[in-house]
Amino acid sequence: MNIFFDEKMRTFGASRDGLLWGGNERPLPLFLPSSSVQSFLLRTKENKVGPIIGLLTTKRTGYPFIGNPTRYRKISRLLQEQGGFLYVFTPESMKNEEIHGFFYSIAQKKWIKSQFPYPDVVYNRIPIREDEQLTSSQYALQAIAQKNIPLFNPHFFNKNDVFRILYQNKKLREFLPDTRSANSVETISEMLKEYNAVYVKPVDGHKGDDIFTVEKKNNAFQFQSSIRRLTFSSEHLLSSYLSPLLKKQRYIAQNKINLNKQNSRMYDFRVLMQRVSTEWLMTGFGVRCAPVSGITTHVPKGGSILSKATLDKPIDEKKLTSLSMEAAKTLEQSYPALREFSMDIGRDVNGRLWIFEANSKPMKFDERDIDQKMLCNLVATFFYLSKFNEY
């Protein structure tokens, strides 16, 4: 069924009376097509057209919405090609029975502002953790839940919570590094007595921000982050340096794993998991490599992308998939609205796999085949959750 957008009136309508759209099933006004009208082909379920997908993000001064507009455009285009429709909105744009947002016009190659019904499905892409905790964002998420509109993904992960959940699964314990809350220097000191080196990560961190390592070398202690390397001759001096650092935010500490290396550079696997209907799928995985003497494989922190074919040691993909699937099913039990996430999984020198962290709002993958499959699975999820997949 075609719906139409009148550019002069900036409203949507249909050429047939009695049609509804959106999660709150608003009536589509009746009007005839004209030269100033764009048309969109949507699927029809009885007297309802859709699916209408709302992508939730936030805004900044001078920008109607933030995030990755190029990414949003790709999702919108793919969805339109299959008979769906997407608009981008922010918490402030939600009114009683309508939402003010933006849709992408393929014909005009630009974002256009209009009014929409509440969506059939909400895709949470609020890109900044602090923004998600704002009162306006929490109010929006609650309003969506009260209207029983399917939403994913629900929120950013907390590293402490993720490891606590995974640790409860006895099948996963052997694949988890020793992970402890690092609210004081004492925790790091205790771990250094058991392990020669520890990683310290912000509980709410992402993209490798503010990660550092502490390593015991002879009678000295070496501190390293992505921007500096310091050596302390005593534990007291180390403690004096770390104490104010640990007060700035919450951290976890993990024992450092002796990862396998390629050309003297450690690497790990970036795994993408998605649940389209009732089953989890490993959409794909890539290899991320740290700089020489670097501490993280994150590309924004100097890491790089490796081809799987270049690795000296072959990858046991069956083993990697099995571990990832078990982790997905375990996290789903605590986060029922989880539909996609990525994981950093390392492989040590003995071939053992280790789950380092998980991200509930995965970024685009640089590997084109994985990224395209990711987009296709995402759109298929929209149709499934909106129940327009059978039409």
Domains assigned to the chain: 2-153 (3.40.50), 166-173+258-360 (3.30.470.20), 178-255 (3.30.1490)
- For residues 44 and 160, give the distance between their C-alpha atoms in angstroms, rounded to a whole number: 44
List, for residues 49-79, the tens digit of each pLDDT value.
Answer: 999 999 999 999 889 999 999 999 999 999 9
Task: Report the predicted TM-score, pTM, of the whole model to 2 decimal places.
Answer: 0.92
Tokens of 12: 């949507």
Report the C-alpha gap between 13 and 17 in whole angstroms: 9
Distance CA 159, CA 359 (A): 9
pLDDT at residue number 35: 61
Residue 55 pairs in a beta bridge with: 88, 123
> In sequence order, what DSSP letters do the residues of 39-80 get, joined into one string?
EEE-EEETTEEE-EEEEE---BTTBS--S-HHHHHHHHHHHH
Q: What is the pLDDT of residue 391?
A: 54
Q: Are 44 and 138 in contact (CB under 8 A)?
A: no
Determine the pLDDT at residue 218. 85
User: What is the Cα–Cα distance from 208 to 359, expressed in whole angstroms?
Assistant: 12
User: Which residues of the chain are under the pLDDT cut of 50?
Assistant: none
261-299 pLDDT, tens digit each: 998 899 999 999 999 999 999 999 999 998 887 888 888
- The pLDDT of residue 207 is 67
Identify the helix (H) or strand (E) that includes residue 353. strand 353-359
DSSP code of 291?
P
pLDDT of residue 208: 63
Question: What pLDDT does residue 380 have?
Answer: 96
Is residue 39 within 8 Å of residue 70, measured between CB atoms?
no
**Predicted pLDDT at 389:** 84
